[in-house]
Amino acid sequence: MTAADRSNPVVGTPYGAVRGRWERDVAVFRGIPYAAPPFGPRRFRPPVPPDRWDGVREAAVFGPTAPKPPYSEAFAQYLSDPDIPGDDCLNLNVWTPDPAPGARIPVLVWFHGGALTRGSSAVPVYDGHTFARDGVVFVSLNHRLGVEGYGLFPDAPANPGLRDQLAALQWVHESIAAFGGDPDRVTLGGQSAGAIGAGALVAAPQARGLVRRAVLQSGPPETTDRDKVRRMVRRMATRLKVPATAEAFAGVDRGHLLRAQADVGRRSSPVLGGPAFGVVVDGDLVPRDPLEALTGGAAPGVGLLTGWTRDEYRLWLVPGGLVERLDRLGAVALAGAMARCRCGSEVPRGYRALHPDAGTAELVGQMVTDHLLRAPLHRLADGRQDPSYVYEFAWPSNRPGMGACHALELGFVFDSGREPAARKLAGEGAPQELADAMHGAWVRFVTDGSPGWERWDPRHPVRVFGDGDPHTGHGPRDRELALWSAPAPEEPAPTPELRSVIRRLRRNGALRRT
């Protein structure tokens, strides 16, 4: 290999050749289009292949990110979200230790988080260098977000953002061998909304054979009620003064659309609910609820690694000051959580008995986390015949009040704690040995199918990554999750008391998200 080749690795794809860069002994290719720009006549439509190009396309910098509103000031102090303008936002990036056909290196495809409204592959925490350094071809991607990717309209197919993710996964299957990857050893991984998308695709018949393993971090396989998404679209339409159709929304200026989405979305919250965007059952790509499909035998042969953080809820509550408001509201906040989780009073009573010293906000946060996240991930692991492995990230951030919050584990998964973007959430002095352990577990799972501890069985082994050496506990959340075993009604009764609770929460600001 000549010095010039070493500086500029060139790889062929089905649509043309791309030139990357060698960075710290890893070949990096950024901004490769896997589908055509989703605008103009393609807006709100399923993705189509990109146009072919002649010559060699430079792939040195990240491509455009999908249109998205910025984080509020309260959240931006903890989370980074670069915005790169441009229409060609359906692009991906590849980090590889050996860009040579025939290398047959295991592959990790990464779906970013961000509540399906924010995030991108350009977030510095998601640097794929460490995975490539340790023998994994790493692929990250952008897809449509918010109303562009997950709005529900009578005149357009559902789930275009999820269809983008499928198109990227198909691109990997067709193209990754040229970058040294093994298309038969692809692990699909994601965090939060990325995990929800990954779970939906693992269950999707159209993705059969594209995925060998999957990692779902802080996000279960789930779908959102179609009416909840429709309400989001209708409220945007009212604000924009246009019909709630894809044709009408396609004629709206992109900036106006994002501002309307941000305004309407302020009342959405993982803790207290509200209209929101999400993957929906569409009878096509998502023919049924993914959790039901996966526990019913879908995706045979696909191993799973799932995890959560101990204090997921703190990222949802601390930045906007909601912890203090919920603690002040006391029993009223617990009643609101009962409505959110559609449970009876025995559930918060049980949590109070198990955690007598916890504040109201902690009880509400753990209840909602268990209901929305841990319980379905338990159900997923219980219902699968193929190997499943479960972990909990329990190291508390050095940022005041954040604890082991949602997304904190990512700097450890990627071993990117040196990045300023990771320190925004973790603070200074995050332990390198914990990053070595966490990152190493993911690498082992992608490479060999086992992260290094016992697979899930009736004893419920959970690997705990916290202070000190990682250790395995058996059933550490079983007592809390047992409180949800009684069947809950499909909807809470619309009693005057419940309506009074919701009104009081709104008056006190608990239904607003900063």
Residue 308 CB neighbour total at 10 angstroms: 27
Residues 6 or more apart from 465 whose CB is under 8 A from it? 391, 392, 393, 394, 395, 409, 412, 434, 437, 438, 441
> How many CA atoms within 13 Å lie on the side-chain side of 252?
25
Round to whole Å and give the CA distance between 321 and 323: 6
> Measuring CA to CA, which residue among 392, 391, 393, 467 is closest to residue 429?
467
Choosing from 112, 406, 409, 416, the catalytic residue is 406
Round to whole Å and give the CA distance between 226 and 234: 12
190 and 216 in contact (C-beta within 8 Å)?
yes
Tell me whether residue 474 is one of the annotated catalytic residues: no
Choosing from 148, 312, 362, 392, the catalytic residue is 312
Distances (CA, A) of 208 to 97, 353, 384, 485: 27, 45, 17, 32
Strand, helix or coil for residue 391 = strand
Choosing from 192, 218, 388, 397, the catalytic residue is 192
Tell me whether residue 192 is one of the annotated catalytic residues: yes
Tokens of 249: 């929304």
Distances (CA, A) of 124 to 48, 79, 91, 335, 421: 28, 10, 16, 40, 6
Tokens of 422: 């990771």
Tell me whether residue 450 is one of the annotated catalytic residues: no
Q: Residue 250: left (phi > 0), alpha (psi -120 to 50), or beta?
A: alpha
Tokens of 102: 């025939």
Round to whole Å and give the CA distance between 173 and 271: 37
Gyration radius of the chain over CA positions: 22
**Residues with catalytic roles:** 192, 312, 406
